[in-house]
C-alpha cells in the first residue's frame, strides 16, 4: 500500500488516540528500522523502551517461531511451562518471591494496587486503602492507574476517578511524610519518572521513602515498567538505590517486543491473592513467555548487555554534555541513568524530533521540552555519535 493511502485509511478506521508521524515502518534489525518507502532510520525510541535487544533479535525471533509451532495459548486453567520458567527467572534475579503475569504496564500497576489493598483488608483485617503516588508520574491509562498518574491533563472527561488515591511532589520526603495517614496502604513510585521527563530522585530519597513506609506499615510499590529489564544498567532500577520495594511492576522491555506485563511481590504480600482474587485470560501465555525468556537469557548472559548499557549510557551523557556546551541557549540540562536519558531544552522539543526524523533518526519528546532517548541496550558508540551529529546539525539550524 502506498504511504498516503495507508495514512488515509488509518484515519478512516482507527480511533484518533495518537497524533502519529506521517511515517510507517515495515522492517527492523538491531538499532535500525526501515520505512514503507525504504528509508533507513536509527531508532533511539526503541518502541518506547520496549525493544531492549533491538529489533528482531535472532534469539527472540527463533523463540517465538518455535513456541508458535508448539503452543500459542491455553488459558490459566492449566500449568504453562514457559510461564513458570519465566517466573522462576524473575524471582531468582529479584527481591520478589512470586509473580503474576498480565499484558501491559497499566495492568501490572492495576494488579499492584488491588494486591496492596487486599493485603491489608483481607489478609490483615486493617482498613488501609489509600494509595499515594507522585505528581508528574505516569502509571497507565486504566481508570485506577490513570487516577494514580500525576498528570491532570490526561484525566479530562473521565471522572469520577478512583477514590483513595492522592499525590505528592516527587523527590520530597517531607511531602510524603505529611501525606501518609493511618489509611495509607501503599506508596506507588517510578524509580525514575520516565514520561514525566526523565526525572531522577536525589540519591537518598528512596532510602528515606523505604524507612517511612516501614515505620508506618505502608507497602512500597515500584513501577519499573519503564526502568526495569536493564534500562538503568541494572536488571531492575531498585538495585541502584540500596533498597527493595515490596511490590514491583514490569512490562515494556520484559518481552523484547511482545506485550507482557508482570507484578512481582514478596511471599508475605502475594498470599493475599487467592484463587479467584485476580486473573487474566492472556496473562503469561506460552507465546509471550517464550519471547520473554529468550529476552531475559540474552540480557543476563555474562551481564554483557548490562555492562554495555552502563558504558554507553555514560558515553551518551558525556557527548550530550559536550553538546550542551556548544548550545547553551538551547540545552538546559542532561539527565538520566543507564540508557534512559533526557535532554531538557529551553524550547519545545517537537520540532527537534521532526528535524531528526528528516535526517534519519527517531527520537522522542516527553513533557513538552524534554528529548527522551531510550535506545535498545545494544546501542554502540558509533550510533550514539551518529545521533549526536544529527542533533548538532538540527540545533545549528535553530541557533
Ligand atoms: C509505559 C508505562 C506504563 C503503562 O504501560 P502500558 O503498557 O502502556 O499500559 C506504566 N508505568 C510506566 C512507568 C510506564 O512507563
The backbone torsions φ and ψ at residue 85, rounded to the nearest 5 degrees and listed phi first, read -65, -40
Q: Going by C-beta distance under 8 Å and a sequence separation of 6 or more, which residues neighbour residue 122?
A: 272
Domain endpoint, select from 260, 282, 300: 300
In this structure, are residues 127 and 161 in contact, taking their beta carbons and an 8 Å threshold? no
Query: Is the pLDDT reported for residue 200 higher than 90?
Result: yes
Using alpha carbons only, give the angle 305, 90, 342 rounded to the nearest 5 degrees.
Answer: 50
Whether residues 92 and 209 fall in one domain: yes
Owner of C-alpha cell 499492584: 112
CA-CA distance, 207 to 217, in Å (whole number)?
Answer: 15
Residue 1 is predicted with a pLDDT of 79
Whether residues 216 and 103 fall in one domain: yes
313 lines ligand 1 (CB under 6 A): no
Average pLDDT score over the chain: 97
> C-alpha 173: how far from its chain's center?
24
190 lines ligand 1 (CB under 6 A): yes
Q: What is the 3-state secondary structure (H, E, C) of the chain?
A: CCHHHHHHHHHHHCCCCCCCCCCCEEEEEECEEEECCCCEEEECCHHHHCCCCCECCHHHHHHHHHHHHHCCCCCCCCCCHHHHHHHHHHHHCCCCCEEEEECCHHHHHHHHHHHHHHHHHHHCCCCCCEEEEECCCCCCCCHHHHHHCCCHHHHCCCCCCCCCEEEECCCCHHHHHHHCCCCEEEEEECCCECCCCCECCCCCHHHHHHHHHHHCCCEEEEECCCCCCCCCCCCCHHHHCCCCCCEEEECHHHHECECCEEEEECHHHHCCCCCCCCCCCCCCCHHHHHHHHHHHHHHHHHHHHHHHHHHHHHHHHHHHHHHHHHCCCCEEEEEEECCEEEEEECCCCHHHHHHHHHCCEECEEECCCEEEECCCCCCCHHHHHHHHHHHHHHHHHHC
pLDDT, tens digit, 9 for 90 and up, residues 288-332: 999 999 999 999 997 899 999 999 999 999 999 999 999 999 999
Residue 12 is predicted with a pLDDT of 97
Residue 281: Cβ-neighbour burial (10 angstroms; 0-12, 13-18, 19+)? exposed
Residue 223 is predicted with a pLDDT of 98
pLDDT, tens digit, 9 for 90 and up, residues 118-175: 999 999 999 999 999 999 999 999 999 999 999 999 999 999 999 999 999 999 999 9
Q: What is the mean predicted confidence (pLDDT) over 211-222?
A: 98
> Ligand 1 mean position to 107 CA, how many Å?
9
Cis peptide before 245 (omega within 30 of 0): no
Domain endpoint, select from 284, 300, 316: 300
CA-CA distance, 157 to 139, in Å (whole number)?
Answer: 18
Ligand 1 atom at minimum distance from 252 CA: 7
pLDDT, tens digit, 9 for 90 and up, residues 176-193: 999 999 999 999 999 999
195 lines ligand 1 (CB under 6 A): yes
Whether residues 215 and 250 fall in one domain: yes
CA-CA distance, 146 to 212, in Å (whole number)?
Answer: 25
374 lines ligand 1 (CB under 6 A): no
Q: What is the mean predicted confidence (pLDDT) over 221-240?
A: 98
Q: Whose CA is nearest to atom 8 of ligand 1?
A: 105
Ligand 1 atom at minimum distance from 105 CA: 5
- The CATH number of whichever domain residue 311 belongs to comes to 3.90.1150.10
Q: What is the mean predicted confidence (pLDDT) over 216-240?
A: 98
| Count of domains observed in the chain | 2
Whether residues 170 and 141 fall in one domain: yes
Whether residues 196 and 330 fall in one domain: no
> Ligand 1 mean position to 145 CA, how many Å?
9
CB atoms within 10 A of CB 194: 26
Whether residues 307 and 287 fall in one domain: no
Whether residues 207 and 63 fall in one domain: yes
**Radius of gyration of the chain from Cα atoms?**
21
Percent of the chain with pLDDT over 70: 100
Q: How many CA atoms lie within 13 A of 158 on its CB side?
A: 14
Whether residues 112 and 43 fall in one domain: no
Residue 4 is predicted with a pLDDT of 92
Strands 370-373 and 40-43 turn out to be: unpaired
222 lines ligand 1 (CB under 6 A): no
Q: Going by C-beta distance under 8 Å and a sequence separation of 6 or more, which residues neighbour residue 304?
A: none
Whether residues 40 and 111 fall in one domain: no
Whether residues 92 and 189 fall in one domain: yes
- Can you give the residue range of the structural domain that contains 353? 3-57+303-398
- The CATH number of whichever domain residue 131 belongs to comes to 3.40.640.10
CA-CA distance, 395 to 324, in Å (whole number)?
Answer: 10
Q: Whose CA is nearest to atom 10 of ligand 1?
A: 139
CB atoms within 10 A of CB 292: 30
Whether residues 326 and 373 fall in one domain: yes
In this structure, are residues 246 and 264 in contact, taking their beta carbons and an 8 Å threshold? no
CA-CA distance, 37 to 3, in Å (whole number)?
Answer: 8
Query: Is the pLDDT reported for residue 399 higher than 90?
Result: no
Whether residues 202 and 324 fall in one domain: no
Order of strands across the sheet with 32-35? 25-29, 32-35, 40-43, 361-362
pLDDT, tens digit, 9 for 90 and up, residues 336-373: 999 999 999 999 999 999 999 999 999 999 999 999 99
Domain endpoint, select from 247, 273, 300: 300
Amino acid at each position: 500500500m502506498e504511504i498516503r493511502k495507508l495514512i488515509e485509511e488509518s484515519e478512516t478506521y482507527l480511533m484518533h488516540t495518537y497524533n502519529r508521524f506521517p511515517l510507517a515502518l515495515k522492517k527492523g534489525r538491531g538499532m535500525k528500522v526501515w520505512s514503507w518507502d525504504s528509508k533507513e532510520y536509527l531508532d533511539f525510541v526503541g518502541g518506547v523502551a520496549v525493544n531492549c535487544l533491538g529489533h528482531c533479535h535472532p534469539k527472540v525471533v527463533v523463540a517465538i517461531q518455535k513456541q508458535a509451532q508448539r503452543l500459542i495459548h491455553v488459558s490459566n486453567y492449566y500449568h504453562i511451562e514457559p510461564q513458570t520458567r519465566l517466573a522462576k527467572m524473575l524471582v531468582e534475579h529479584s527481591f520478589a518471591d512470586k509473580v503474576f503475569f498480565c499484558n501491559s504496564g497499566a495492568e501490572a500497576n492495576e494488579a499492584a494496587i488491588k494486591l496492596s489493598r487486599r493485603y491489608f483488608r483481607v489478609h490483615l483485617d486493617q482498613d488501609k486503602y489509600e494509595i499515594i503516588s507522585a505528581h508528574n508520574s505516569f502509571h497507565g491509562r486504566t481508570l485506577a492507574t490513570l487516577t494514580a498518574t500525576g498528570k491532570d491533563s490526561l484525566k479530562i472527561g473521565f471522572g469520577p476517578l478512583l477514590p483513595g488515591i492522592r499525590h505528592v511532589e516527587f523527590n520530597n520526603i517531607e511531602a510524603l511524610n505529611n501525606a501518609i495517614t493511618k489509611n495509607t496502604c501503599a506508596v506507588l513510585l517510578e524509580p525514575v519518572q520516565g514520561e514525566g521527563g526523565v526525572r531522577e530522585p536525589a540519591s537518598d530519597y528512596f532510602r528515606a521513602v523505604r524507612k517511612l513506609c516501614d515505620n508506618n506499615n505502608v507497602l512500597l510499590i515500584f513501577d519499573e515498567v519503564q526502568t526495569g529489564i536493564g534500562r538503568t544498567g541494572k536488571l531492575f532500577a531498585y538495585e541502584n538505590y540500596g533498597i527493595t520495594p515490596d511490590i514491583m511492576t514490569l512490562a515494556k522491555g520484559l518481552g523484547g517486543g511482545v506485550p507482557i506485563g508482570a507484578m512481582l511481590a514478596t511471599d508475605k504480600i502475594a498470599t493475599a491473592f487467592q484463587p479467584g482474587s485476580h486473573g487474566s485470560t492472556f496473562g503469561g501465555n506460552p507465546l509471550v513467555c517464550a519471547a520473554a525468556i529468550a529476552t531475559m537469557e540474552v540480557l543476563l548472559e555474562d551481564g554483557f548487555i548490562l555492562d554495555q548499557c552502563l558504558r554507553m549510557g555514560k558515553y551518551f551523557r558525556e557527548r550530550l554534555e559536550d553538546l550542551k556546551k556548544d548550545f547553551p541557549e538551547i540545552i538546559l540540562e542532561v539527565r538520566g541513568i543507564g540508557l534512559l536519558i533526557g535532554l531538557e531544552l529551553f524550547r519545545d522539543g517537537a520540532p527537534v524530533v521532526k528535524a531528526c526524523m528528516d535526517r534519519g533518526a527517531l527520537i522522542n519528546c516527553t513533557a513538552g521540552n524534554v528529548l527522551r532517548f531510550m535506545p535498545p541496550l545494544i546501542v554502540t558508540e558509533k550510533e550514539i555519535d551518529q545521533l549526536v551529529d544529527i542533533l548538532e546539525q538540527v540545533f545549528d539550524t535553530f541557533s
